[in-house]
Amino acid sequence: MDISSLLGGGSKALIGLDISSSAVKLVELSEASSKQYRLERYAIEPLPRDAVTDGNISSLEAVADAIRRAWKRLGSGTRQVALALPAPSVITKKIFLPAGLREVEMEVQVESEANQYIPFAIDEVNLDFQVLGYAPGSEEEVEVLIAASRKEKVEDRVAAAEAAGLKALVMDVESFASLAAFNLIQSRLPEAGKGKVIAMVDIGAQMMKVTILRDQNVVYSREQAFGGNLLTQDIARNYGMSFEEAEAAKRSNSLPENFEHDLLRPFMDSVGLEVSRALQFFFTSTQFNQVDHIVLSGGCAVIPGVDQIVSSRTQVTTEVANPFAGMALSQKVRPKSLATDAPALMLACGLALRRFDA
């Protein structure tokens, strides 16, 4: 399998490919200058219901078809992609090793250490590592991040890309890739968010993922079953539609006048309540007692006014994620469409950034 890595590696021509539970998303970036990226193009293609469940590809054919359609609409000549595995599919562990080891020696040590943490035979996993730097307060040891995943988890995503005529070059971890995109947002916060506790809340179709950071270190993370599919189910039930019809009507804003009052507003209130509850879990399970800033991402973050409801419920300054805010845009990108789509493109953007890795 020709994949550079679970963690490292980059390419001069690379598209970020996010396979979520509800859609396939592609993002291609370039370098406008030494200090600025440019969004060249992006595409979002909906997936049939249950094509991806709990982060696993259930229908390879449906996912490959969606990737193929999205890539065609993207209009790019690049066929190399960076993909990511859901965090629960990857075992990560930080270890300390003596500084100055040759790569071959480090590989042996990593494999030996990994055997202690991985509940599978070593030949059943894709294993990778990345040196993060010297250990805190010591130049005699280095801190190394180990990442391992069952081979079939990696192979499923690679197979979907290849069936669509693309080549998987990088395999990342969703949480790491999202953080790469989040760094673009954090750099624009007051004082670049230094010393602040920031909650990154991603609300997709099926799951709400909460990641709390302080000075770019993850201090807490949690997933819970809550997402936009609940609203789609309410629409289907109230208006006598199939789930697919309800999802299409939701996306095209073609619902009856009473939709906003009867269904959308209560769902937005639920979003505010779930985010508030998630923060309470954070406070009761850590030494922290406040959050300074909330950044909303995922498909549900595009609902107009949801940031104000979350802010009102939590009493925390809240904004909708847009990792492209400081970027140049090519003529192929429509700013109005991007403003709507940006919160759902965090992961694809983070993966597209991998082309700039050293």
52 - beta bridge partners? Answer: 57
Give the count of domains, the chain. Answer: 3
- Spatial distance between the Cα atoms of 304 and 137, rounded to a whole number of angstroms: 47
**CATH code at position 69:** 3.30.420.40
Which of 108-122, 187-201, 261-275, 317-331 is least confident?
108-122
Question: In the chain, what percentage of residues exceed pLDDT 70?
Answer: 96
pLDDT at site 3: 40
Boundary (domain end) residue, out of 101, 123, 151 = 151
Pick from 345, 339, 298: nearest CA to 201: 298
Residues 313 and 341 in one domain: no
Residues 42 and 179 in one domain: yes
pLDDT tens readout for residues 28-73: 999 988 778 999 999 999 999 889 988 899 999 999 999 999 999 9
**Amino acid letter, residue 298:** G
Residues 255 and 315 in one domain: yes
Residues 180 and 39 in one domain: yes
Residues 239 and 310 in one domain: yes
pTM of the model: 0.90
Residues 247 and 355 in one domain: no
Residues 235 and 176 in one domain: no
CB-based contact 252:277 (threshold 8 Å):
no
Q: What's the CA dihedral at 343, 272, 312, 188 to 10 degrees?
A: -20
pLDDT at site 5: 52
How many CB atoms sit inside 10 A of residue 140's CB? Answer: 10
Range of the domain at 82: 1-89+152-188+325-358
Residues 263 and 285 in one domain: yes
pLDDT tens readout for residues 163-222: 999 999 999 999 999 999 999 999 888 888 999 999 999 999 999 999 999 998 899 999
